[in-house]
Structure 1
Amino acid sequence: MSASPLVDIRGLEKKFDLSGSFLEQVSFKNGRFQRKQEAVHAINGVDLQVFKGEALCVVGESGCGKSTVARTIMGLLSPTAGEVHYEGKRIDTLEGKALLPYRRKMQMIFQNPYASLNPRMTIQQTLEEPIHFHHPEWSKADVLNKVQEVMQSVGIDPDWGSRFGHEFSGGQRQRIAIARALAVDPEFIVADEPISALDVSIQAQVLNLMMDAQESRNLTYLFITHDLAVVEHFGTRVAVMYLGRVCELAPTKALFATPRHPYTQALLSAIPRLEDGRPNYIRLQGEVPTPVNLPSGCVFHGRCPYANDRCRQEIPELFATDDGGQVACHGVEEGRL
């Protein structure tokens, strides 16, 4: 792993406004006008570094902000606060032609292969489009050769080119989506739950395909998932998110062997294992708070059995642990856990 990160996000925040127009925010109550503004706090100060050649997996339950982080890094959403850097250059403020080189270097594989392919385009047209866009100077023969090469690299028969997306199964469509991402020779790929919509029997094939592509093309992945078995198989490092914040970040083996944060411990205890002497399943109390009204202090304190007054008042920051990871927990920092 290189010393400087390929992708560096600092203090990333994203809010989605729920208030509507100014007139919808204003109400007349108790003889005076009042203005009420509400927002979904999807990401709340996320710091992440992705190093060249690794597969950083981001895990957490639904609604924790994983996909919002992915889309903000890719520029599909603009951050409310914070910065996104690629190879040391800030890119979240770039627009138009200045952003084009990064569009080619950074590609995304979406969750739903049934929705991410244009139904009006053949597979050949789907794969040719990004190549034409990023390499307008290429001849027709060069484009055709590139499409054929990338189709073969992901196990697609080049004869499929004349067919449409609806003629293929989910696994085949996801292979086509991976081929589309690889067509412009990217360095960094964000995969947003790319196998969750597929049959279990197909998931391993697509995962192995992505691992082979990483090795042969020297790719770097940010892999969004909620499947911890996939993380154990695929990830170099793991970032665990809860309610828009990273609560633990560690190398995969270290995280699965000795999870430090109480939420990570509860998450890993839920994995079914055929072993004697494994730790008992940890049942968390309460419900996940709403991201509209975030709790004060540590976002996990309402469900944590170890929370004290400091946890309820002060937001914990990530600090380095002795196993090469980072954890945001006052209890770990104070030696209580």
Structure 2
Amino acid sequence: MTRVANAPDPVATASLPNERTTRSEALLEIRDLTKRFSLSGDFLEQLRFKGGRLIRHQEHVHAINGVSLDIQRGEALCVVGESGCGKSTVARIVMGLLTPTSGEIHYDGQRIDHLSARQLLPYRKRMQMIFQNPYASLNPRMTIQQTLEEPLRLHQPDWTRDEVRDKVIEVMASVGIDPDWGKRFGHEFSGGQRQRIAIARALAVDPEFIVADEPISALDVSIQAQVLNLLMDAQQQHDLTYLFISHDLAVVEHFGTRVAVMYLGTVCEVAPTATLFATPRHPYTQALMSAIPRLEDDRPQHIRLSGEVPTPVNLPSGCVFHARCPHASERCRREIPALIAREDGTRVACHGVEEGRI
């Protein structure tokens, strides 16, 4: 694999995993997923006097609104969008850390969103997560050896002490960690080293699916390339499938097999990586792509969006992007667009694209 140099651009020379051939079988299916967070407190806090009557007032943050995605075996599906668009919420619901308000999640053909913690246990071994902040994701009271042994003792209770120790040494070596580090604690390491430990913890139980929630955003630029290469190497060596959350389009362009673009809790566009970056179709995707710094004379003009991002507490009617879209019509203001498949393999939720205006 071509290595990424420790240069200002962490992915300038990275190899392209999207060149690999992936199987067409969906490992994970997300269907009409919604998630609301209450802002109203408990029942008594929701009671209000209005017009001389006692009423119940409820407010919710509409974090996810009808998200549907498929993740094929062996691919890296990247989810991008600005802060607060619902990327991390989708990741946490997929991993069972949050309960969906409605919708379904199917893993390898089996529905898992309604399972209890005990029923989910067999899936925990197959599905692992790498969190964004390496400074908070490691237990400060546990040594690195204990951190890496814990998932093995949970999922492989019949293993002997020697088998657990050998597996820990193996997984530490696979991510470039000195086995002698096992006696030390997390606070003794840098951010990049901690993230390597977190990756080793995820790989320890030999998963087939990993959710990576902005795994390099908290790291220095010179370290981002090393961690990104590590994730790419692990994907090839272990035949992993990724749900990769990111806001760094340069990383997504080189890491992702396909890209899903989210805005205000909805999916705007899903497309193969090369297609999305060459010919973005949704107006919001076009605005995102135009914001990428490029050293090209013929690069597209930067698209400046008017207005502010609407609050997820009071969602706008129709298309959630219509207030900032230069192509919005009356239909956009009253009707929610469906995510429609196109001939080139992309799916776009835009009335303007459907009608041929864009």
Which category describes the TM-score, using the shorter chain as reference length? over 0.9
Q: Tell me, in whole angstroms, the C-alpha distance in 1 between the residues paired with 2:351 and 2:58.
A: 31
SS at match of 1:197: coil
**Correspondence for 1:50 among 71, 84, 90:** 71
Offset of residue 101 of structure 1: 1.1
Which residue number in structure 2 is paired with residue 313 of structure 1?
334
**Correspondence for 1:197 among 218, 241, 250:** 218
**Correspondence for 2:295 among 274, 281, 284:** 274
Q: Does 1:18 align with 2:42?
A: no
Q: Tell me, in whole angstroms, the C-alpha distance in 2 between the residues paired with 1:22 and 1:290.
A: 24
Tell me which amino acid in the other structure corresponds to 2:263: Y
Q: Tell me, in whole angstroms, the C-alpha distance in 2 between the residues paired with 1:128 and 1:256.
A: 41
Tell me which amino acid in the other structure corresponds to 1:263: Y
Tell me which amino acid in the other structure corresponds to 2:328: A
Which residue number in structure 2 is paired with residue 229 of structure 1?
250
Q: Tell me, in whole angstroms, the C-alpha distance in 2 between the residues paired with 1:101 and 1:313.
A: 44
SS at match of 1:303: coil
Higher mean C-alpha deviation, range 25-34 or range 199-208: 25-34
Offset of residue 322 of structure 1: 2.2
TM-score by length of 2: 0.93
Q: Does 1:217 align with 2:230?
A: no
Q: Tell me, in whole angstroms, the C-alpha distance in 1 between the residues paired with 2:128 and 2:159.
A: 20
SS at match of 1:127: helix
Tell me which amino acid in the other structure corresponds to 1:173: R
Q: Tell me, in whole angstroms, the C-alpha distance in 2 between the residues paired with 1:25 and 1:69.
A: 27
TM-score by length of 1: 0.99
Which residue number in structure 1 is paired with residue 152 of structure 2?
131
Return 5+ residue gaps in structure 2 as ranges: 1-21
**Correspondence for 2:177 among 156, 164, 186:** 156
Offset of residue 24 of structure 1: 1.3
Which residue number in structure 2 is paired with residue 86 of structure 1?
107
Aligned residues: 337
SS at match of 1:19: coil
Which residue number in structure 2 is paired with residue 288 of structure 1?
309
SS at match of 1:205: helix
Which residue number in structure 2 is paired with residue 109 of structure 1?
130
Percent identity over the alignment?
Answer: 77
Offset of residue 323 of structure 1: 1.7
Q: Tell me, in whole angstroms, the C-alpha distance in 1 between the residues paired with 2:171 and 2:190.
A: 19
Tell me which amino acid in the other structure corresponds to 2:211: V
Offset of residue 31 of structure 1: 1.5
Offset of residue 26 of structure 1: 1.2
Which residue number in structure 2 is paired with residue 303 of structure 1?
324
Q: Does 1:186 align with 2:207?
A: yes
Which residue number in structure 2 is paired with residue 98 of structure 1?
119
Q: Tell me, in whole angstroms, the C-alpha distance in 2 between the residues paired with 1:324 and 1:234.
A: 19
Q: Tell me, in whole angstroms, the C-alpha distance in 1 between the residues paired with 2:128 and 2:321.
A: 33
Tell me which amino acid in the other structure corresponds to 1:64: C
Q: Tell me, in whole angstroms, the C-alpha distance in 2 between the residues paired with 1:32 and 1:86.
A: 48
Q: Tell me, in whole angstroms, the C-alpha distance in 1 between the residues paired with 2:25 and 2:104.
A: 16
**Correspondence for 2:96 among 66, 75, 86:** 75
Q: Tell me, in whole angstroms, the C-alpha distance in 2 between the residues paired with 1:243 and 1:265.
A: 16
Tell me which amino acid in the other structure corresponds to 1:132: R
Offset of residue 30 of structure 1: 2.0
Q: Tell me, in whole angstroms, the C-alpha distance in 1 between the residues paired with 2:51 and 2:317.
A: 29
Higher mean C-alpha deviation, range 56-65 or range 26-35: 26-35
Higher mean C-alpha deviation, range 316-325 or range 271-280: 316-325
Which residue number in structure 2 is paired with residue 167 of structure 1?
188
After superposition, the C-alpha distances for 1:111-157 in whole angstroms (9 at most, x for unaligned) are: 00000000000000000000000000000000000000000000000
Q: Tell me, in whole angstroms, the C-alpha distance in 1 between the residues paired with 2:352 and 2:160.
A: 61
What is the aligned-residue RMSD (CA, Å)? 0.7
